[in-house]
Amino acid sequence: MRYLALLWLAFAPMALSSDKEGLSQFIVAFAIDLKGDKEAVAFDQYFVGAPVFFLGEQPGISPAPDFAPKMVELLRETLRLDQYPFGKVRVESQNIAADGTATLMVVFERERSHEPHVKAICNIFAAIKTDGDWKISFWHLVTTNHPTRCTWA
């Protein structure tokens, strides 16, 4: 039994590290697809069946099966991603729990905009790992005045 505990202690950090890398890669892939030409209907792969969107001070939930793709379309237009696409994706922090849930704070940077409030978007995500794949369950977007981070402190 002691040897099993030692093996777990030896390999647990690698498993957690792998989960963190996988989650970061998932969010980066999501951001690339968001700024790209991918059809909005294809975004179902990134979201749970009943996601929550929180845009600034406006929450959004819906029983509609096409809710996530419609929100993606709306966000692409509202954020003017055709004119000011994201240049970099910076994962500021992430926390992964043993139960397969995770939270992330991610900055989508935009370098080509000269408008102060269009420089960066701060995103707070809640994600869950189901059947080996990450899915977004909650997405909160706010603009940030700092070009590379969400936190002000």
pLDDT band of 143, cuts 50, 70, 90? confident
Type and span of the H or E element at 21? helix 2-35
* Phi/psi of residue 145, nearest 5 degrees: -75, -20
Q: Is the pTM of this model over 0.85?
A: no
Q: Which residues, in sequence order, are CB contacts of 69 under 8 Å at separation 6+?
A: 40, 41, 42, 43, 44
Per-residue pLDDT of 14-46, as tens digits, reads 444 467 789 999 999 999 999 888 888 889 999
- Which has more confidence, 147 or 129? 129
- pLDDT over 50 at 13, yes or no: no
**Per-residue confidence (pLDDT) for residue 79, from 0 to 100:** 85
Q: Which two tokens stand for residue 71?
A: 């929100």
Q: Under 8 Å CB-to-CB from 141, ≥6 apart: which residues?
A: 53, 54, 55, 56, 75, 121, 122, 123
**pLDDT level of residue 153 (50, 70, 90 thresholds):** low
**DSSP letter for each residue of 23-84:** HHHHHHHHHHHHHTT--GGGGGGGEEEEEEEEETTEEE----TTHHHHHHHHHHHHTTTTTS
**Percent share of the chain, pLDDT over 70:** 82
The helix (run of H) or strand (run of E) holding residue 141 is strand 133-144
| Mean predicted confidence (pLDDT) in 92-119 | 85
d(CA 89, CA 100): 23
Where are the domains positioned within the chain?
Answer: 2-144
Residue 115 has pLDDT above 50, yes or no: yes
- Residue 126: what residue type? A
CATH number of this structure's domain 2-144: 3.10.450.50
Is the pLDDT score of 7 beyond 90? no
Spatial contact of 150 and 105, defined as CB atoms under 8 Å apart? yes
Longest distance between any two alpha carbons in the chain, whole Å:
61
Range of lowest pLDDT (27-31, 98-102, 121-125, 141-145): 141-145
Is the pLDDT higher at 44 or at 8? 44
